[in-house]
Chain A
Amino acid sequence: MTQPRFTRRTLLRGLGVSLALPLWDSLPASVAAAGPVAAPPRRSAFIFVPNGVNLSDWTPQTEGFGFRLPYILEPLANVQEDVLVLSGLTHDKGRANGDGPGDHARSASVFLTGAQPRKTSGANIRSGISVDQVAAQAIGKATRFASLELGCERGRGAGNCDSGYSCAYSSNISWAGESSPMGKETNPRSVFDRMFADRNAKPTDQAVVRGRALKQSILDFIAEDARNLQTKLAANDNRKLDEYLTGVREIEQRIQRAERTHADTSGDLTYQGPAGTPRDYGEHIRLMCDMMVLAFQTDTTRVATFMFADAGSNRSYRDIGVSDGHHELSHHRGEAEKLRKIRDINRFHVTQLAYLLEKLRATPEGDRSLLDNCMICYGSALSDGNRHNNEDLPILLAGRGGGTIDPGRHVRFERETPMCNLFMSMLDRIGAPTDFIGDSTGRLPGLQI
């Protein structure tokens, strides 16, 4: 466990005003600069936006440093030197490859897995393990939560989601295993409570110690129930009970980690957390971003995913004057009016990303910023919503990965370079190197000069 540079108490006190004031204002520089010297951990986040983008207003004209920000990316002006624009990456497994329509559902399930999802609206869901979960399984033990899954849309409650694909494919990007989507939290209040509900518990208190022991005994009890049941049931049923047991183990580990790391996570909290899910969509995204910053800052987790919206989302964006549904618009057939609306939606999303990046950068960690120790991968697994193509994807990578990435550039890769090669490079930096993920063919060159 890496020593934190400053106590959580200080950080959370700072957060108490973070919604009104920039977080950093209340952090004394001396605190930020003090502390032992172990290298801070590297964090990674993966952010998904649906329906592709208007690529001509996304891709910078020039490569290398000093590119001019296109219309959609303009909101990143303050953090341009912390962002890599990556062009030319491909998700081949998002293509039909014989499976027919359903590009939207595929675009979410392939985004972090690089795996061809099995076309099914019900039985036998199968995708692949996602990059965030590869990371979580390798480094998650160090933190209370192995990973955090965030979103703004709860998933569709009725009907097929996309041309014969189960909704599981379009409402999840994080997959713990090939048939186990992680689910996601959409209420910022719940995220906060999950992370800090026991914040006032005193580790020495008898009742707290006993409470933990009882909780553990309940977990033992229900795990035994599940195992007993498994001996009586057939394979499909057992898969469900495996998921159940995985959940039990995950919680057990979290309790153990909480015991180990309690000194770091105690402290009184002046920030009481968000009230709930705000009606305003932009505010919703930003609150979720706040939760992500908070999670990284307190080292509650080092891995997060965030779906700004689910695949094929047909949300309208009235606040920026777009009353048509996003999905409907994305089938623009080159019409100028629609392309204009799409790029405005794309820009709106990037504006929220800029909020996150600015906040991370304004949060000091050691003698650098939190953003310096992060890798934030942002984008869509569809390139153009009309053509539904999966090459030349719109992808950003923000942060410096603890000094292992040189951002501020636009880098173009050879055509058909697998997006999964980026994941390979990220996993190296996260400390979770692997031989392959999805359809990776190697590492991505050029992240560092």
Chain B
Amino acid sequence: MKSGSSKFVGLLIGTLCVAVNVAVVAEDPPPTSDSPNFSQSIRPFLQAHCIRCHGDDEPEGGLALDTYRESARIQSDYETWEKILRIVQERQMPPEDEPRPDEPELQSFCRAVQAELETFDCTSHRHAGRVTIRRLNRAEYNNTIRDLIGIDFRPAAEFPSDDVGNGFDNIGEVLSIPPILLEKYLAAAESIVEQAMQDAAARRRIVVHEPTPELSLREAARRNLKRFATRAFRRPVRDAELDRLMALAKFAIDQGASPDEAFRTTLQAVLASPHFLFRVEADPPLGQHVRQLDDFEVACRLSYFLWSSMPDQELFDLAMAGTLQAPATLDQQVMRMLRDPKAAALTENFAGQWLQLRSLADIAPDPGRYPAFDDDLRAAMRRETELFFATVVREDRSILDFLAADFSYVNERLAAHYGLVGVQGDAFRHVQLDDRRRGILTQASILLITSNPTRTSPVKRGKWIMDNILGEPPPPPPEGVVELDETPEALGSLRERLEQHRSNEACAVCHRKMDQLGFGLENFDVIGGWRDRDGRFEIDASGTLPGDVHFDGPAQLMQILSEQNKSAFSRCLAEKMLTYALGRGLESYDRCAVDDIIKQLEQNDYRFGALVRAIVSSEPFRFRESLGKK
């Protein structure tokens, strides 16, 4: 066994069965439906680099690549091929001690596999996917408590931070429950109940039924609990659950607790229960492949997607009536929810992570070079992008505004930073931009988080655009690359140095596009202020994108992105938002849902609301698959 490939075995263990299976049926039929992708790029690559180990009688890792003789099999074994693609893309394979494919050859193979995977037949299988049970993350916990109790305690401020997967902190698989978190949950439950019962308004929300001569203390408590637990569990509480809660109250009384203390004990138990802390969704019944979620489950998916919180009374009522999933009703609810002030959570949590605004807090430009920067300016930068995003949401504007809008929001401080005159005071206001800035990529927030503390980084900026706008994240650099030499000025302008960097073909493959995108933003310094010079060099913000598309300056670049790259942008945004809405990473079969979503988006002038409605009505959003995939 070659040393480099030992890891591959582990990675492919899961696909062993598939591969073995395949080997049995691979005798016939002869290749019929060969696509050019397969015959010109994939098969030669496999033959040159793979099948010596992954072939014949005892293929490495049980992966027999010589059995793939036609492109259709790539789609049917898409899980295996997604792994192969990733591993080759990351240059984990072929192993180090084998001859390396040259870079164009490798890229052409990857593109061909990608193209084959994209021909996945959406009509043959229904794949709704399966979300791992999700605990509430910190934002969701805070908001849920706020809406459940009526007081904005923000008790999760002291919880450990939620781990991030697939770019977001609401991914079921990744959200773990270390012991310290459970401890915090219990402590929070205690203090929330304590404070809620001391606050007259909050108490009235919980203690709706007071004992009367006709209503026993016990029965009043049961009714109050039923109401509270139903809202906390976000579905009707079951009688058996209520019985157990009442038994808990009785135990407390037996221990000498007052009725009030006993009631509080049960409230604490509700708030520490997995039914509150997790969003539970039932799997399809045995033998069934997919299951449509019930209205309560869909109400939760909606409310946590758009509000990062529990459903409100209107959603509950519709779920109770069983009418929430009527298409017109779903659409209406989405538009109502997007206009609700609680939709601020979408800005804070979705935009905050998609655009990485959250990382602004940790970024500190060099005060020697940027003495004007301080926390006020930092806050204003973040506010601008948040207000901008919230406007697109609230006014149901086109998502292309993110790239090309000629307006934004500034206060006096930010206006001065941008060189805009006539804006006074701390309040933000709508302003028309001059032709230097267009859309979010020219907002100081994004420009700052894509810079180093002491200098701009066209590479970082270009990579950021590819990652978050175009949805084509460049692969990590091959091992052993020489990093950019940034010895000041002696070796030429930053642009010249980057161009030298790209003379290496292995680097050029990706940097050709990445750096050009970044050059288009070179008129903006580290903190997003306009500049015509960098040290002794005049700024050259022109560039050429693949396909010989020229631009000169940020406004032209933004125009190109919003006109010629709008389908890539739509896909990128749809994928990110679907990931966020579902709380799981996307699988290859999700491209069927994504295609539908994009179609609807295009038919509706790229309006933000159309994107959300399309996500909400999609199969992955409203259905749930059993664990066995096929």
Contacts and interface: CB of A to CB of B under 8 A. Distances in A.
B483 A210 contact: no
Interface in B497-519: none
B273 A222 contact: yes
B476 A324 contact: no
Given A160-B167, A171-B161, A98 B8 contact: yes
Contacts of A125: 173-174, 176
Given A217-B265, A226-B274, A247 B178 contact: yes
Interface string B95-136: 110000000000000000000000000000000001011010
Interface in B67-108: 90-93, 95-96
A273 interface: no
Contacts of B244: 221, 224
Contacts of A335: 487
B356 A235 contact: no
Given A176-B179, A247-B179, A100 B479 contact: yes
A250 interface: yes
Contacts of B96: 98
B248 A221 contact: yes
A213 B158 contact: no
A333 interface: yes
Interface stretch (A15-23, A162-170, A343-351, A414-422): A162-170
Contacts, number: 238
B163 A176 contact: no
Contacts of A224: 244
B166 A236 contact: no
A97 interface: yes
B171 interface: yes
A161 B164 contact: yes
Interface string A196-240: 000000000010001001110111011011100100111111001
A214 B257 contact: yes
Interface in B513-546: none
A183 interface: yes
A100 B164 CA distance: 20
A101 B479 CA distance: 7
Given A122-B165, A250-B182, A183 B160 contact: yes
Q: Is the interface of B mostly helix, strand, loop or mixed?
A: loop
Contacts of A194: 183
A333 B585 contact: no
A446 interface: no
Contacts of B207: none
Interface string B445-477: 000000011100000000000000000000011
Contact of B91 (A100, A171, A217): A100
- Residue from A163, A183, A226, A323 having most chain B Cβ neighbours under 10 A: A183
A246 B160 CA distance: 17
Contact of B133 (A96, A225, A236): A236
A123 B165 contact: yes
A185 B272 CA distance: 20
B459 to A, nearest CB: 12
B256 interface: yes
Contacts of A149: 180
A268 interface: no
Interface string A90-118: 00000011111110000000000000100
A157 B169 contact: yes
B572 to A, nearest CB: 15
Interface in A186-201: 186-187, 190, 194
A176 B5 contact: no
B179 A157 contact: no
A260 interface: no
B163 A166 contact: yes
Contacts of B602: none
Contacts of B90: 99-101, 164
B44 interface: no
B364 interface: yes
B448 to A, nearest CB: 13
Contacts of A235: 627
Given A159-B164, A221-B273, A324 B366 contact: yes
Given A99-B92, A100-B92, A217 B251 contact: yes
Contacts of A236: 130, 132-133, 172-173, 627
A122 B166 contact: yes
A214 B265 contact: yes
Interface in B245-301: 245, 248, 251-252, 255-257, 261, 265, 268-269, 272-275, 277-278, 280, 282-283
24 contacts: A98-B95, A99-B7, A100-B92, A125-B173, A154-B160, A157-B169, A158-B167, A164-B90, A168-B176, A176-B178, A180-B176, A181-B163, A187-B158, A221-B244, A221-B248, A229-B280, A237-B132, A237-B133, A240-B176, A251-B183, A316-B366, A323-B367, A323-B453, A325-B452
